[in-house]
Amino acid sequence: MVALAGRPNVGKSTLLNGLVGTKVAAVSDRPQTTRRAIRGVCTRGECQLVLVDLPGLQRPRDALTERMAARLTHELAQADAVLMMLAADEVMGAGDRFIAKALADSQVPVTVALNKTDRLKRPQIAAALESAAALGVGDDIFPISARKGTGVDELANHLCALMPPGPFLFAVDERSDQSRELLVAELIREAAIRRTRQELPHALEVVVGEIDWPRADLVRIRAFVLVETASQRGIVVGAGGKVIKAVGSAARTDLEEALAAQVHLDLSVRARRGWRADEAFLDRLGIT
């Protein structure tokens, strides 16, 4: 078990998907995209890494973010190793120092991945490595580009060397522990986040109502994008339904690749005020 820790938007989901070999977590340039602790399975020869993409560390503001913070603490306690991710193209700030301090007393080995090095030149990478080392957490720092895959094999081999002996936790061909419904919801949510404004990711969720397979190569999916207010609903729908149509088209492409079938997607938008503070509703969404 390897826990991926780091500030929001440092590339944890991108790295997870790259190691697993398929998309299992929503990826966006918006912070705080990850809500659930999603496990991706990477089997390399005699080693199996179960990577947990943790929610980005943040101060709890409501029931939703309280659950995200509690999940992060729980998963860190269960990990065999921790991978702290940093963004090489950003100044190491208070958030990085806060996480590093929290991990410094960890009872499991901590490795640091300096991501997004493809955006920098050599002198800038060297400076970023010095800043990462100054955080004082972990003995090993790997410069990588999760997006391009640079340095990822070396990082994976290092993590494998840290794993304790034991049986595989998942079958060799498994890629994630999430249900098909959650995978569908994550892919639709990613498409919606990419096509809406900066403030919407925190209020945006996707609920899958029905998945029907009339035949092996065809799946019909009914889902809705959930927001909190009528004005947010207007943003997601867009003028003449332009935005939600674009979301559906983008999501359909990813869904067809993930499900290996033609997808008919019935997508609508609903507003439910205060859903992020509704404990019972969060239970129904599986955000624990």
pLDDT in tens, 224-247: 999 999 999 999 999 999 999 999
pLDDT of 260 higher than 70: yes
Counting every residue written for the chain, the total comes to: 288
Token readout for 113 is 């991945």
pLDDT in tens, 159-208: 999 999 999 999 998 988 878 888 898 889 888 988 886 556 567 889 99
Strand partners of residue 38 = 53
Which residue did the predictor score with more confidence, 37 or 51?
51
How confident is the model at residue 68, as a pLDDT? 64
Query: Mapped to the 3 state alphabet, what secondary structure does 67-101 carry?
Result: HHHHHHHHHHHHCCEEEEEEECCCCCCHHHHHHHH
Q: Are strands 218-227 and 2-5 parallel, antiparallel or unpaired?
A: unpaired
CB 128 within 8 A of CB 93: no
- Percentage, residues of the chain above pLDDT 90: 53
Residue 93's nearest CA partner among 199, 202, 8, 28 is 8
How confident is the model at residue 32, as a pLDDT? 47
What is the mean pLDDT of the segment spanning 61-80?
A: 71
Which residue did the predictor score with more confidence, 23 or 176?
176
Which residue did the predictor score with more confidence, 54 or 143?
143
Mark residue 273 as left, alpha or beta (left: phi above 0; alpha: psi -120 to 50; beta: remaining).
Answer: beta
pLDDT in tens, 110-153: 999 999 999 999 999 999 999 999 999 988 999 999 999 999 99
Domains of the chain: 2-162 (3.40.50.300), 180-285 (3.30.300.20)
Exposure letters 127-159 (e unless 16+ CB within 10 A, then b): ebbeebeebebbeebbbbbbbeeebbeebbebb
How confident is the model at residue 6, as a pLDDT? 86
Average pLDDT, the chain: 86
pLDDT of 95 higher than 70: yes
Q: Are strands 47-53 and 38-44 parallel, antiparallel or unpaired?
A: antiparallel
